[in-house]
Amino acid sequence: MTPLRISVFAAAAFGLVFAASPASAERLLKIVAFGDSLTAGYGVAASDAFPAKLQQALAGKGIKVDIVNAGVSGDTTSGGLARLDWSVPADTDAVILELGANDAMRGIDLAITRKALDEILQRLKQRGIPVLLCGMYAPPNMGDEFVQAYRDMYPALAQRYGAILYPFFLDQVATKPELNQADGIHPNGKGVDRIVEDILPKVEELIAKAKAGS
């Protein structure tokens, strides 16, 4: 075979390799689910955790994304702020922010919680990462004033930073024994399914926002 024919053959062969290379495929949108035990999947199998079931539900609708589980059991908003940079890497396209339940149960000063969430949202906005902010309610035994202030905090922060708001992460799941584990706090597999079903439209809105680059 002449040198010319060899080079043509080689170019054609490399062309086929490049065409078939996974690197040439379109990168999946990367969403980081950034939260506490409710995100991490405390008490359930990894396949039953919120990020895994959410990704599965989206795939069922033909929406292929990569959802990373960045949940840490016991985490507070201050803890989330401390690990923000390494939990939400540079290639992140969107974030589902679910923090605050542990702050409420521990009775942490609301000003501290608000400041931490504010800084998390501010830093994500500066990075151009759209956010779905999941609200949380404080236990009723914390007193009416605290409970109301806690509930009002999330909509105010979402409006300030242009985040998409899901008012209460445990909506239709909290206080329902059949949807929770024995501790009455963490959802079981059926509870996670309900959360995913209800939050899905907001997640689709987040994906559209990420794809639009806003």
Section 117-125 average pLDDT: 98
Q: Does residue 17 carry a pLDDT above 80? A: no
Which domain, by its residues, includes 201? 27-212
Which pair of tokens denotes residue 175? Answer: 């206080």
Catalytic residue list contains 21: no
Q: Is residue 84 in some structural domain?
A: yes
Q: Is 111 exposed, middle or buried (0-12, 13-18, 19+ CB in 10 A)?
A: exposed
Q: Is residue 16 in some structural domain?
A: no
Q: Is 74 exposed, middle or buried (0-12, 13-18, 19+ CB in 10 A)?
A: exposed
Q: Is residue 176 in some structural domain?
A: yes
Q: Does residue 26 carry a pLDDT above 80? A: no
Maximum Cα–Cα distance across the chain: 87
Q: Is residue 14 in some structural domain?
A: no
Section 165-177 average pLDDT: 97
For the domain that residue 40 is a member of, what is the CATH number? 3.40.50.1110
21, 91, 183, 214: the active-site residue: 183
Catalytic residue list contains 171: no
Question: How many structural domains comprise the chain?
Answer: 1
36, 37, 78, 103: the active-site residue: 37
* Per-residue model confidence (pLDDT) at position 105: 94
* Per-residue model confidence (pLDDT) at position 213: 85
DSSP state, residue 73: T
In order, the DSSP letters of 24-54 are: GSPPPEEEEEEESHHHHTTTS-GGGSHHHHH
Q: Does residue 4 carry a pLDDT above 50? A: no
DSSP H/E element including 42: none
